[in-house]
A and B are shown apart, each in its own frame.
Chain A
Amino acid sequence: MRSNFTEAAGLEKGLVSMEPYRSAAYFELERDKVFARTWLIMGRTEDVANVGDYIVKEVEICGASILITRAAGDKIRAFHNVCSHRGNQVVWEDKGSRKTMFRCPYHNWTYGNDGRLLAISDEKMFFGVDKSKCGLEPIQCDVWDGWIFINLNPDNKVGLHDYLGEMGVFLSDIPYPNPGRSIKIQAHLKCNWKFLIDAFSESYHIPVLHSKTIGPSFSGPSDPAGHLQNAEFFGPHHSISLFGNPDYAPTEAQLVERLAYKGMASENVLAANQSEETEALRAHRSVNPGKSETWSMDINEFFPNFHLDVAGGGFWTHEIWPITPDYSRYEMRFFVPKPESVRAAFHQEHYIARLADVVLEDLANVERTQKGVASRAKNFMILQDNEVLIRRMMDTLDKFTVSDTLEKALEECA
């Protein structure tokens, strides 16, 4: 087990500027040097499980609407969701299935789910259009361990696996329980996207901000501050492990919580599954990598905006999408089993209800932080060792925003 994570990460221990959180100029650099050229999460392969399935995702900071399809031959592809005719979006819903063709609802231009332009309505009135050159604009798309990523830079030369580097190796082959079924909590927040990244990157706040909801399970008499159990650093990506209170149990008065967890042998209060269903997950070499006896969960942060969190009871993800310098979209996906009884549905309702409250505690908080930082009353953050990911994220962003290419940025972070 490591201690002094900030030193282990090779970081200075001084003050960290708040300017990137409130600077429109920095936001433009983040768009051009980060989001427009790094690999971005789009979802799970199970989101497009069958040929003919598709999803549409927005990357607001780049003004992009992305269509992800699974076409014949089982290949997952990504395209700009933009019609070659006059630029409207071809697909207007956010997901669907059993569709091998997309007809633009504006003038009926028709595309295959492999991107080819198949038909132009009233074609004879055009002036010799070469349909073979007018398909949907493809986007680089690749899959790592069941996770779909895209890269919006058409000239990108760094493959997904090289981009993920040692982080991809570290986390490969995790046996995810229920990867095909998730419940999403979505919110739009009046804050810079990095406040959301930070909110889910440290444990220092948990016993305080979440004192009632999850404080009692993420801190305890043996560790009242809930210190980090481990940290691993991989290029721009990183992974931390949080403390879990081994003695947590609902109080006598928590009647409904006890009823919800009755008959359930689960790992902790954030369990979506029975223990036996997560045995293989917990046995993975990089789940609780420090093999701490007092472990609750790992936060695996993929630069720039994807968290893949693994706990004894299951896994979930955070996606954080910048829209403007002070407005962001937040999405958390909990991967949960399909309930087959009222008791299982009741447990799941309780599980998600608590998480919605936890998330709301964080979300209300990021808007307050935005207000404070935007007021310019303070110019620097004072960070402690358990906040190492915040310091490291800022250091990584600084490296990316001054690097001419993705290759150079990755070298700087090596």
Chain B
Amino acid sequence: MRNMATVPAGERALPAGFEALEEFVAYWAVPGQNERRYQRCDTTMDEIQRFYDAVYPRADEAMAYLDKFPLRDMPGPEARLMRLVLSLAQASMSVEIQGAARVPNAPWPDTVKILTTETL
């Protein structure tokens, strides 16, 4: 089933200064490596490129900002910003390595699961 990130009423979607990335939160700021991989695999190259082009220029700055918060106990807006940045690593597989949304000539959906002991 499709995972989407939700923003509780009254909370900012992202920390101040990162408003320009808000449109990507619902799709890309999902918890879990397996879920982020799924999002990358289940969309188009155009969407991945659009996300990559928007987030990459802010990624270094975002990580420097997030360093002030505990990795495993971030406030909602910071946690969503972190997940956007983590999704950039997934998106980069399509943009920088495969030149395609997914591994060419492989089935989708596939049976691959990434199983982690903790969910960031």
Q: Do A and B bind each other?
A: yes
B-binding residues in A (CB < 8 A): 181-189, 212-213, 250, 253-257, 259-260, 339-343, 345-346, 349-350, 352-354, 356-357, 359-361, 363-364
Complex interface: chain A residues within 8 A of B33 (CB): 183, 349, 352-353
Complex contact B105–A364 (CB within 8 A): yes
Which of the residues A186, A342, A353, A354 comes within 8 Å of B63, measured between beta carbons? A342
Kindly list 13 other residue pairs between chains A and B, CB separation below 8 angstroms, not including A259-B59, A345-B86, A364-B105. Answer: A181-B117, A183-B114, A188-B111, A212-B99, A259-B60, A342-B82, A353-B89, A357-B93, A360-B106, A360-B110, A363-B110, A364-B103, A364-B106
Main secondary structure of the interface of B (DSSP, over half): helix
Complex contact B112–A186 (CB within 8 A): yes
Considering the chains assembled together, what is the distance between the CA atoms of A252 and B111 in angstroms?
A: 33
Given A256-B96, A345-B71, A353-B93, decide whether A189 and B111 contact each other with a Cβ distance below 8 A.
yes
Within 8 A of A (CB), among B43-78: 52, 56, 59-60, 63, 66-67, 71
Complex contact B114–A352 (CB within 8 A): yes
Main secondary structure of the interface of A (DSSP, over half): helix
Complex contact B115–A183 (CB within 8 A): yes
Q: What 1/0 mask marks residues of chain B from 83 to 120 whose CB sits below 8 Å from any chain A CB?
A: 00110111111011111000101110011111111001
Complex interface: chain B residues within 8 A of A359 (CB): 112
Complex contact B37–A353 (CB within 8 A): yes
Complex interface: chain A residues within 8 A of B56 (CB): 255-256, 259
Complex contact A256–B89 (CB within 8 A): yes
Complex contact A357–B103 (CB within 8 A): yes
CB distance from B65 to the nearest CB of A (A): 9
Complex interface: chain B residues within 8 A of A364 (CB): 103, 105-107, 110
Given A187-B113, A364-B106, decide whether A349 and B89 contact each other with a Cβ distance below 8 A.
yes
Complex interface: chain A residues within 8 A of B90 (CB): 349, 353
Complex contact B89–A350 (CB within 8 A): yes
Given A354-B97, A356-B37, A357-B98, decide whether A186 and B113 contact each other with a Cβ distance below 8 A.
yes
Complex contact A346–B63 (CB within 8 A): yes
Complex interface: chain B residues within 8 A of A182 (CB): 117
CB distance from B61 to the nearest CB of A (A): 11
Q: Return 5 A-B CB contacts under 8 Å, by A number.
A: A182-B117, A257-B92, A257-B96, A357-B98, A364-B105
Complex contact B71–A340 (CB within 8 A): yes
Nearest to B98 among chain A residues (CB) is A212
Nearest to A212 among chain B residues (CB) is B97
Whether a CB of chain A sits under 8 angstroms from the CB of B36 is: yes
CB distance from B105 to the nearest CB of A (A): 6
Nearest to B96 among chain A residues (CB) is A254
Considering the chains assembled together, what is the distance between the CA atoms of A350 and B88 in angstroms?
A: 9
CB distance from A371 to the nearest CB of B (A): 13
* Total number of B residues with any Cβ neighbor in A under 8 Å: 39
Pick the 3 closest A-B CB pairs, nearest first: A256-B92, A364-B106, A350-B89
Which of the residues B40, B93, B115 comes within 8 Å of A186, measured between beta carbons? B115
Considering the chains assembled together, what is the distance between the CA atoms of A250 and B99 in angstroms?
A: 15
Considering the chains assembled together, what is the distance between the CA atoms of A180 and B40 in angstroms?
A: 29
Given A181-B117, A342-B67, A361-B103, decide whether A187 and B112 contact each other with a Cβ distance below 8 A.
yes
Complex contact A256–B113 (CB within 8 A): no
Considering the chains assembled together, what is the distance between the CA atoms of A256 and B67 in angstroms?
A: 18
Complex interface: chain A residues within 8 A of B110 (CB): 187, 360, 363-364
Nearest to B66 among chain A residues (CB) is A342
Considering the chains assembled together, what is the distance between the CA atoms of A339 and B40 in angstroms?
A: 22
Considering the chains assembled together, what is the distance between the CA atoms of A343 and B120 in angstroms?
A: 13
CB distance from B48 to the nearest CB of A (A): 12
Complex contact A363–B112 (CB within 8 A): yes
Given A259-B59, A354-B97, A363-B112, decide whether A346 and B89 contact each other with a Cβ distance below 8 A.
yes
CB distance from B96 to the nearest CB of A (A): 5
CB distance from A360 to the nearest CB of B (A): 5
Considering the chains assembled together, what is the distance between the CA atoms of A357 and B103 in angstroms?
A: 6
Complex contact A356–B89 (CB within 8 A): no
Complex contact B107–A341 (CB within 8 A): no
Complex interface: chain A residues within 8 A of B117 (CB): 181-183
Considering the chains assembled together, what is the distance between the CA atoms of A341 and B66 in angstroms?
A: 9
Complex contact B71–A187 (CB within 8 A): no
Complex contact B96–A184 (CB within 8 A): no
Which of the residues B85, B86, B96, B113 comes within 8 Å of A253, measured between beta carbons? B96
CB distance from A362 to the nearest CB of B (A): 10
Complex interface: chain B residues within 8 A of A212 (CB): 97-99
Complex contact A185–B112 (CB within 8 A): yes
Nearest to A182 among chain B residues (CB) is B117
